[in-house]
Structures are given as C-alpha cells and as structure tokens.
Structure 1
Amino acid sequence: MRLAGAADKAAVERLVHDAYSPWIEVVGMRPLPMEADYAALIDAGLVHVTDELDGLIVLVLEDGVLLVENVAVRPGRQGKGLGRALMAYAEEEARRLGLPALRLYTNVKMAANIALYESLGYVETGRQGIEGRSAVMMRKQLNR
C-alpha cells in the first residue's frame, strides 16, 4: 500500500469508475464515490492504493474515528480478498493513529457490501439520506 500521487489520478478515477459502474443500475444513480474530486483527495493524502493500482481506500481522520469513505477494487480482482485486505489496512491505520473505532457508510441497496462489513465486525448505527441517496451508517470498535 502507498499513498496515491498526482500521477495516479487518471488510474484512480478509472478504478473507481470500473468498480462502481455495476452499482448504478442497482442504486438508480451514480454512487457517491463516482462523484468525488480525486485530485483534491489525492492532494490531501487521503487516497491509499495498492502497488498495482487494482484497489484503493479513502481514509479520512475525524474526531476520534477513522472514516472509510471509499473502498474500490478492480472488477477482475473482486471476490479474491482484496477488499478485506483494504479494510484490514484501514484498521491498522486507525490503530497506528491511536483511534478506537472506524466508521463507514454505504448505500442501503448495496446488500453485498453491507454483509461484508458486518462479517468484518461493523454494526449498523443508523440510516440517513446523503445527497439524494439512502445510506446505512456503520461502525466498528477496535480492541485495544
């Protein structure tokens, strides 16, 4: 894993597009990660990528928690454990930063993602609307 640099912007955008395009029909609109400003996220040091640029995770430090804002895996690599590895990386980062928890949100219609996060120990903390989309809010407490 490494932080994405400015030279990675096009590859990051392509990865997000490819990973989230299948969800457009399910959600009924473009998922929020497809609307993000990746140049700004990369400049802010928030985009972490695999060396091969086949997976990424966007991590945002919040007050007392690490927000997993986006996880994307290239379609050809999905179902092979890379998403779980990215989530484990987020936990390592939270521990490194001394944070007791992580949080994330996902679209209520992304049932497979919700099931994955639950299997990793995340629990639903609520639901809310975000930019015209219905989101499931989830949180994971870390063991110290």
Structure 2
Amino acid sequence: MRLAGPEDRAAVERLVHDAYEPWIEVIGMRPVPMEADYAALIEAGHVHVTDDLQGLIVLVPEHGVLLVDNVAVRPESHGKGIGRALLAYAEEQARRLGLPALRLYTNVKMASNIALYTSLGYVETGREGVKGRSAVMMRKELSP
C-alpha cells in the first residue's frame, strides 16, 4: 500500500469509474465517489492505492475519527480480499493517527457493501441524505 501521487491520477480515476459504474443502474445516478476531485484528494495525501492499482481507499482524518471516504476495487479483482485488506489498512492508519474510530457511509441500495462493513464490525449509526443520495452511516470503534 502506498500514497497515490500526481502520476497516479488517471489510473485512480479509471479505477473509481470502473468500480462504481455498475452501481449507476442500481441507485439511479452516479455514486458520490465518481464526483470527487481526485487531483485535490491526491494532493492532500488522502488517496492510498495498492501497489498494483487494483484497489484504493480514500482516508480523511476528522476530529476523533478517520473517515473512510471511498473504497474501490477493480471489478475483475472482486472476491480476492482486496476490499478487506484496504479496510484493515484503514484501521492501522486510524491507530497510527491516534484515532479511536472509523466512519463511513454508503448508499442504502449497496446491500453487498453494507453486509461487508457489518461483517467487519461496522455498525449503522443512522441514515441521511448525502449529495442527493440516501446513505447509511456506519462507524467502527477500535479496541485500544
């Protein structure tokens, strides 16, 4: 795992597009991660990629929590444990930063994502609108 650099921007944008494009039909619009400014996120040091660029995670430190803003895996790499590895990496980063919890949100229609997060110890904390979409808010407390 490494931080993405400016030279990775095109590959990052392609990965996000390929990962989220199948969800457009399910939710009826482009998922929020497809609208993000990846040049700015990379510049801010928030985008972490696997060495082979098969997956990425966007991590944004907040007050008392690490926001998992996006987890994306290339469709041909689904089922290989990359998403789980990215989320484990997020936990390591939260601990490194001294943050006791992680939070994320996902579209209410992304049932497989909600199931994955739940299986990894995230709990639903509410539902709200995010950029015109219905989102499930989730949180995971880290053990000391």
TM-score (norm 1): 0.99
Cα distance in 1 for partners of 2:56, 2:122 equals 19
Equivalence for 2:141: 141
Structure 1 residue 106, shift from structure 2 partner: 0.2
Q: Secondary structure at the match of 2:92?
A: helix
Aligned-partner residue type, residue 87 of structure 1? L
Gaps of 5+ in 2: none
Structure 1 residue 80, shift from structure 2 partner: 1.1
Corresponding position: 1:47 with 2:47: yes
Equivalence for 2:65: 65
Size of the alignment, in residue pairs? 144
Gaps of 5+ in 1: none
Equivalence for 1:27: 27
The percent identity for this pair of structures is: 81
Aligned-partner residue type, residue 92 of structure 1? E
Q: Secondary structure at the match of 1:126?
A: strand
Instruction: Please give the root-mean-square deviation of Cα atoms over the aligned residues, in Å.
Output: 0.4
Cα distance in 1 for partners of 2:133, 2:12 equals 23
Aligned-partner residue type, residue 132 of structure 1? G
Aligned-partner residue type, residue 79 of structure 2? G
Cα distance in 1 for partners of 2:95, 2:101 equals 9
Equivalence for 2:74: 74
TM-score (norm 2): 0.99
Cα distance in 1 for partners of 2:88, 2:22 equals 24
Cα distance in 1 for partners of 2:25, 2:78 equals 18
Cα distance in 2 for partners of 1:77, 1:42 equals 23
Cα distance in 2 for partners of 1:79, 1:20 equals 16
Cα distance in 2 for partners of 1:103, 1:65 equals 7
Aligned-partner residue type, residue 70 of structure 1? N
Cα distance in 1 for partners of 2:90, 2:107 equals 20
